[in-house]
Amino acid sequence: MHRNRNFLFHLYMGAFLLYMLVPLLVMGGAAFNASKLPTIYPWKGWTDEWFIAMWADNRIWIAFRNTLLVALAVAAIAVPVGTAGAILVNSIGGRVRGMLYGLMVAPILVPGVVIGISTLLFWNQFGVGSGLHLSVLGQVSYIASFVMLLVLARLQSFDQGLEEAALDLGASHGQVMRRILLPHLYPAIGAGAAISFFQSIENFNVTLFTRGGADTLTVYVFSKVRSGITPTINALAFLLIMVTLLLAIVYEVRRRRIATIEAAREAEARRAEES
Amino acid sequence: MQDLYRRYGKGLTWAFIGLTFFWLAVLVILPDFTLFESSFRPYLPISEVGGPKDTYSINNYLRIFGGEVAMNIFGLDVMISPRVKVFLYTIWYSGMVTFVTFLIAYPLSYYLAKVVSPKSLPTLFLLLFVPLWVSEVLRSFAWWIILAFKGPLNGVLMALGVIEKEIRWIDGYSPVIVGLVYTYVLFMLFPLYNAMQSLDSNQIEAADDLGAPWWRIHWRVILPHAKPGIASGAVMVFMLSAGSLLVPAVLGSTTSGWFTQTIQGIMLEEQDWNSGAAFAFMLLIVCTLVVSLAMWIFRVKLSDIAK
């Protein structure tokens, strides 16, 4: 009976993966269809004209550049801010800690529309008009929370005795920070930077209300999808999916190789023990 | 705090405090306060801002009422304003999306946490992450292609002989729900998986040995243990759905309004930022209420949800 149930589970998992991936296939496939509308059915023959059209579309490149700039700026601000917040909240206790923590986590749960509009209104009071700089500030306000959570989790495994020892041995405050605390936090900071970068690329709601007239990739794709739809968007989607897949495959191959090496090492150790 | 001072010295401590202050005060609290404040002020031409007409009132909030349409609430036909209708529908359907994603994700997270061999787990997760990396707008767009009137879904169904004529799928709220479920189901799956994975399998086996049927094991052992995960996933999915603008805009039609679209219309088309602030504030209130409600029902803390 167990075997039967497991079979059903495997089936369900397979169905779910199909459900997740088939829409992406459909979208990517439509990039090669010679139909004027983005679809894979009816199939009107193979073409690469949508890729050429995409390549020639200047606005895509500008939007692409804007997206990268915004994402880099967001990561550059959110990482130090979130790290500082985590160190601060970790060093205090009691009610203040709870309150501060709540304040730091809350932005994750605030709808992007609200963040976008409040950022726009706030800076507008001081005569700062809308534009991508406001998008950056709006995005940082909630993306820093992710960094904070990652760094805070990492801080739990930090041995403060190391800092004590360094201070006793005459290290300066800057050295304690640079040589002891930061190296321990690097994995979390790296993950935080990556998450900031990708969250920023994904962002739509905050950007839409703060961007002024500038395009980011998400906003541009959205305006394309809303108005005159051509399969150039599918060409773009196809390329994005391919990049994602490629990264995923590289990651998986590396993981497997490391797993094999480790298994070999373990076997070696066991043999050495036996002999 | 003194501890921080002793470890990192004056300069660094103030740097930490300064950065945190910049984040919480300048980027979070003050903008939200501005939102709150300006939501009570009238929308005026710049020359009249600060003049005699610039007084506080709740007129912006009252703009949600106005006009009347029929709506059917639990079998009762009532006349309400179109914006209230959209507001109620947004909450109702976001709740529905949350429930559907839970139904889909629960068996799946159980499978990932307890059934599948740990060896294939990383590969499965990698596959699950792929759609997450493809942006939301493209994922909605994919469903727009699938559900199109002369699209692949109608084509396949007609070829199989299930239907005889094309069905207009993109109509009403169903395509929006399909899109939201597809986009956010993973935000339910991962917290659920995290919660279940920490359950000791021996507890399940003990219950099994003592003769509990499978549904009782789920009801009495696994479900209670997964509670923080359910709370976290439910809050995430609800907030994302209610706050989503992309999915309803791409997959919606004239017969499906989402509250974020109302806000967008007021902000970007009417350019009435004060009413926009009022409406955004209403959305914020709903979301705060939902988080509090979830924390109360599941008896969890904010730190459990934010994991």
Based on the fold, state whether residues B5 and B146 are members of the same structural domain. Answer: no
| Cβ proximity of B193 and B109 under 8 Å | yes
Whether residue A230 contacts residue A138, with contact meaning beta carbons closer than 8 Å, is answered with no
B91/B137 Cα distance (integer angstroms): 22
How many domains is chain B built from?
2
Nearest CB neighbour to B283, from listed A111, A221, A244? A111
Type of residue found at B268? L
- Residues B96 and B174 occupy one common structural domain: yes
Quickly state the pLDDT bin for A2 (edges 50, 70, 90).
low
Radius of gyration, alpha carbons of chain B = 24
For the cut 70, the answer to whether the pLDDT of residue B260 exceeds it is yes
Report pLDDT for B102. Answer: 96
Question: What mean pLDDT comes out for the span B258-284?
Answer: 91
Residue in B1, B10, B24 to test binding to A, most A beta-carbons within 10 Å: B24
Give A32's pLDDT tier (boundaries 50, 70, 90).
Answer: confident
Min CA distance, A40 vs chain B (Å)? Answer: 7
Q: Is position B247 within any domain?
A: yes
Q: Are residues B115 and B223 in the same domain?
A: yes
Q: Distance between CA atoms of B93 and B76, rounded to whole angstroms?
A: 18
Residue A1's pLDDT is 46
Asked if pLDDT for residue B307 goes beyond 70, the answer is no
B129 and B244 both lie in a single domain: yes
Hey, are the CB atoms on A113 and B280 less than 8 Å from each other? yes
Q: How many CB pairs under 8 A join A and B?
A: 257
Give the integer Cα–Cα distance in Å for A2 and A19: 25
Judge whether B19 lies within some domain: yes
Q: How far apart are the C-alpha atoms of B218 and B213, rounded to whole Å?
A: 9
Is B67 a member of any domain?
A: no
pLDDT, tens digit, 9 for 90 and up, residues B87-141 = 999 999 999 999 999 999 999 999 998 888 888 888 888 888 888 888 888 888 8
The pLDDT value recorded for residue A251 is 85
Q: Are residues B173 and B288 in the same domain?
A: yes
pLDDT in tens, A230-248: 788 888 888 888 888 888 8
- Are B124 and B6 found together in one domain? no
CATH assignment of A61-230, given 3.50.50.60, 1.10.3720.10, 3.40.50.2000, 3.30.413.10?
A: 1.10.3720.10
* Judgement on whether residues B268 and B124 belong to the same structural domain of the protein: yes
CATH, residue B246: 1.10.3720.10
Q: Residue B17 is part of which domain span?
A: 1-29
Check whether residue B6 and residue B126 sit in a common domain. no
Residues of B in contact with A17 (CB under 8 A): 124, 127-128
Residue A79 scores a pLDDT above 80: yes
Q: What is the pLDDT of residue B1?
A: 66
Whether B152 and B7 share a structural domain: no
Q: Poorest-confidence range of A68-77, A250-259, B13-22? A: A250-259
Dihedral sign for Cα B240, B241, B243, B245, please. positive
Distance CA B243, CA A10 (A): 34
pLDDT of residue B306: 63
Q: What percent of chain A has pLDDT over 70?
A: 97
Q: How many whole angstroms separate alpha carbon B9 and alpha carbon A167?
A: 11
pLDDT in tens, B26-49: 999 999 999 999 899 888 777 777
Chain A residues within 8 A of B136 when measuring between CB atoms: 202, 204, 218
pLDDT tens-place string over residues B223-241: 888 988 999 999 999 999 9
The Cβ-side half-sphere exposure at A196, using a 13 Å CA radius, reads 36
Q: Does B61 reside within a domain?
A: no
Closest to B149 in 3D by CA, of B164, B163, B170: B170
Q: Which residue has the tokens 């405090």?
A: B17
pLDDT of residue A269: 87
| 8 Å CB contact of A81 and B19 | yes
**Predicted complex ipTM exceeds 0.90:** no
CB A30 within 8 A of CB B145: yes
Ranking A10-14, A210-214, B67-71, B276-280 by mean pLDDT, the lowest is B67-71
The verdict on B104 and B227 lying in the same domain is yes
Look at residue B139 and tell me if it is in a domain: yes
Residue B66 maps to a domain: no
CA dist B287 and B300 (Å) reads 17
Chain A residues near residue B140 by CB distance under 8 angstroms: 225
Question: Would you say the C-alpha torsion A123, A128, A131, A132 has a positive or negative sign?
Answer: negative
Residue B53 lies in a domain: no
B127 shares a domain with B240: yes
B174 is a domain residue? yes
What pLDDT, on a 0 to 100 scale, did the predictor assign at position A49?
82
